[in-house]
Amino acid sequence: MTQAPVTETIQIRGLRQPVSRIALGTWAIGGWMWGGADDRNAIATIHEALDLGITLVDTAPVYGFGHSEEIVGQALAGRRDRVAIATKVGLDWKDDHKPFRNSSPARIRKEIEDSLRRLRTDYIDLYQVHWPDSAVPMEETARTLEALVREGKVLALGVSNFSIAQMEAFGQFAPLCAVQPPYNLFERAMEHDILPYARQHDLAILAYGPLCRGLLSGKMTAETKFGADDLRSADPKFQSPRFAHYLQAVRELQDFAREKHGKSLLALAIRWVLDQGPTIALWGARRPDQIAAVADAMGWHLSADDRREIDAILARCIPDPVGPGFMAPPGA
């Protein structure tokens, strides 16, 4: 077994014990929008993550339309007591596999039972509303979820992709313990509202996309191509001329990480997220080798001067930054 290097932890209110500040993100493991699934490598990746000290796995029903949860459940068989499971609720789909928002009480009640079955467990540690649903009163959604906590099927509640106003509305009817926004060196909108709100209200932040869909891995070049079924084929960052701007920033950030800290860009990107506040970085991986470098993000910190130099690189290289809004699913 690999020596566990992930030693930084955070307590999410409602959970039985602290969890690692690096979590395994399993969107890509589900295969949908990431070029298909590889179950053997996926299970090996989850096992490697646990051996490396990761104690939080984040998934969702819509990741592979149940497939990601099934793989997580299979991989955690006999190891459930070693890990906290975070999954989501509130996205529906029909036969065409095009997700839409549905946070109705009936949908929540169906999803919790489906998720428990797929994950091979009798409770979910952190249950998160995947996207806000304007067609359903927030009270109905929140009260249904709060009932799941009372019933012991869920330990703590969170939301994903919610605004401050939506979190305030949810919190009137059920206790909110965590929020999951997109957050990385290139996508920083949440610093203006979500981050200070989370600090004020003791919410853990599960930052998804900390490597910006692989851009911050340092492995892409101008020749990198994406298939039609790959999420990045629709991401404005990966289209000309923006792709060239982001790749230039990547090169300069790589040089900075190596010269100032003797680290890889990947380690810098994760460390940057962890240094911003009560954050957990959701490290997405599909193969064991993609998770092996987690130790490089531990045991060091970025100074205020470091952060200013990073900001200067971004401002110089990326004249027209864009956020992750293209990923938002439609309403019903």
Q: Which residues are tagged catalytic?
A: 63
**Dihedral angle of Cα 220, 222, 228, 229, to the nearest 10 degrees:** 10
* Nearest one of 30, 9, 113 to 74, comparing CA atoms: 30
List phi, psi (to 5°) of 224: -65, 130
Provide Rg for the chain, Cα atoms.
19
Host H or E run for residue 48: helix 39-51
Host H or E run for residue 86: strand 84-89
Q: Tell me the pairing of strands 178-180 and 204-207.
A: parallel
* Cβ contact 79:120 at 8 Å: no
Which amino acid type is present at position 291? I
| Tokens representing residue 116 in the block | 């428990």
| Tokens representing residue 120 in the block | 């091979």
| Bond before 61 cis per omega within 30 degrees | no
